[in-house]
Amino acid sequence: MNTVIVLATLVAAAAAQCTGSDHPSCASWQRNGYCSNNSPETVKKYCGVTCGFCTRDGFQTALGGGDNLANCVDANANCASWQARNQFCTNPANSNAMKLQYCCATCRPSVLASRTTTAASAKINDNGADDNNSSLKKKGRNNRIVDSSTDSVQPPHSLHFTNFERFMHFILATVSLLALASGVASQCTGNDHPSCGSWKNNGYCTNTGNTMDTRKKYCGVACGFCNLDGSQTAAGGGSTLTDCVDANANCAAWVASNNFCARPDYSNSMKLLYCCKTCRPVVFGTTTTTAAGATDATTEATTTNPSSISSFFYSMHFVLATVSLLALTSGVASQCTGNDHPSCGSWKNNGYCTNTGNTMDMRKKYCGVTCGFCNLDGSQTAVGGGTALTPCVDANANCASWVASNNFCARTDYSNSMKLLYCCKTCRPVVFATTTTTVASVTEASTEAPTTI
């Protein structure tokens, strides 16, 4: 569900429209109340066919507002250039859903034509075309092809997201969430995101929908706005180093506790993104030294910039996304749950529990037990404010229906943390009964594991 909220936020500028190509998760979202719990415009865009508002050819059903084609506009100003450069609308590597979501006015004729051609070809085959593999194949539900030799089900290609689409979602989500949560002054870092080459090919550097500050921050070197030493090129606005500030108040503590700026398991990009003022002297000293060493060894490596983001910062991006989206959309009262996020141990080591930039309510919710504010039964410790259970509400209006339809609170494939995060009032009695039973069973078996949490 977080994915839906993120996507709806990121493309809000696009007029809502039927696309005829649903998100792959629509069936499960429908079972959890998505069709009735979101605006018709959002439902049409992401799950129109599944929810009964749209037909596969992009028309609206009577329920969706009529049998005419929904209003269709391009959500991105670069559609024409994408089409000219790499045949975006007819490129099979891009799903129909993505073509229509970003470039509906430009791509819908091509998409509908391709569907008509595909349907005609399928009809010819059904009417007797020779197919060497016909004995092995049969149509399954929802027109999926089932290979009877393996019984594997192949979903339609139009429901897949390509690597480019995943990258675009990632950068849009990252930019939006950082803008919401960090308030970092944009600046040249000299260390581009690993995917800037492909983003540049798809118009990122010239897309005025991305601010100059954003382009400098993530792809400044690739786009020609920044130099590797963090200074701006003439195209970027000058030759001097841009203003550089620490985006996080804990940079000094991170350096003192784990030598953050010099650690090779954190990328230079990440060091400069969070702790530019503190880390830039170390980063550029490191890259200069490395470049000299690489030259002596006649190797091709010129920096120590690893392309991977450490698990800690990946997890922090996740929790920032979760916190930001919940703050915007749910209005949930923060509370002890007794079930911490799996990464709380590493977050605690990096100052999460004592960082007053995180509210006490937030720390209780995500790492209450680890930080010593909460007990496993959901009550508060003395440090957390008392021994009574904190107020507990359901964050989602569908908790009762989830319990009725799929026994949500008792399902073992959902974590206790997730049950309590979304349906605390409904699920807490079941969760604590489960953990108590598990503890008793484990004790009888004389094992060392105290709970299933």
Query: Tell me: the pLDDT tens digits for 321-344?
Result: 333 333 333 333 346 777 788 788
68 pLDDT more than 60: no
232 lies in a domain?
yes
143 lies in a domain?
no
Mean pLDDT calculated for residue range 81-90: 87
274 pLDDT more than 70: yes
Same domain, 289 and 171: yes
69 pLDDT more than 70: no
Same domain, 185 and 285: yes
Mean pLDDT calculated for residue range 99-104: 76
In terms of residue numbers, what domain contains 212? 164-296
Q: pLDDT higher for 50 or 301?
A: 50
* Alpha carbon distances (Å) from 205 to 163, 235, 291: 19, 12, 27
Residue that is last in its domain, among 94, 114, 134: 114
Instruction: Name the most confidently modeled range: 58-67, 136-145, 151-160.
Output: 58-67
Same domain, 86 and 177: no
Same domain, 184 and 249: yes
| Contact partners, residue 24, CB within 8 Å, separation at least 6 | 155, 159, 160, 161
Whole-number pLDDT of residue 269: 64
Percentage of the chain exceeding pLDDT 70: 58
449 lies in a domain?
no
Give the sheet arrangement for strand 145-147, strand by strand. Answer: 137-139, 145-147, 152-154
161 pLDDT more than 80: no
451 lies in a domain?
no
Whole-number pLDDT of residue 403: 92
Whole-number pLDDT of residue 119: 46
134 pLDDT more than 80: no
Spatial contact of 205 and 43, defined as CB atoms under 8 Å apart: no
Main-chain phi, psi angles of 139, to 5 degrees: -80, 135
| Contact partners, residue 111, CB within 8 Å, separation at least 6 | 20, 58, 89, 96, 99, 100
43 pLDDT more than 70: yes
Same domain, 181 and 257: yes
Whole-number pLDDT of residue 320: 39
Same domain, 100 and 210: no
Whole-number pLDDT of residue 359: 76
Mean pLDDT of the chain: 65
Mean pLDDT calculated for residue range 108-122: 65
450 pLDDT more than 50: no
Residue with tokens 């581009």: 192
- Torsion (CA) 117, 122, 128, 130 in degrees, nearest 10: 90
Of 357, 380, 355, give the one whose Cα is nearest residue 369: 380
Residue 449 tokens, joined: 């594991």
Same domain, 180 and 287: yes
Same domain, 6 and 59: yes
Same domain, 244 and 366: no
302 lies in a domain?
no
Residue that is last in its domain, among 296, 320, 354: 296
For the question of whether the overall pTM of this predicted structure is more than 0.75, the answer is no
Q: Are strands 145-147 and 152-154 parallel, antiparallel or unpaired?
A: antiparallel
172 lies in a domain?
yes
Q: pLDDT higher for 214 or 317?
A: 214
- Sign for the pseudo-dihedral over CA of 122, 128, 130, 135: positive
pLDDT digits (tens, 9 = 90+) for 358-403: 778 888 888 888 998 887 777 777 777 765 556 677 877 888 888 9
What whole-number distance in Å separates Cα of residue 266 and Cα of residue 263? 6
Confidence of residue 70 (pLDDT cuts 50, 70, 90): low
Same domain, 183 and 273: yes
Same domain, 345 and 292: no
Query: C-alpha 116: how far from its chain's center?
Result: 33
Percentage of the chain exceeding pLDDT 90: 0
The total of structural domains in the chain comes to: 3
If you count them, how many residues does the chain have? Answer: 453
Residue that is last in its domain, among 274, 296, 318: 296
Instruction: Name the most confidently modeled range: 49-53, 150-154, 264-268.
Output: 49-53
Q: How many CB atoms lie within 10 A of CB 235?
A: 13
180 lies in a domain?
yes
What letter would DSSP give residue 136? G
Same domain, 334 and 424: yes
415 lies in a domain?
yes
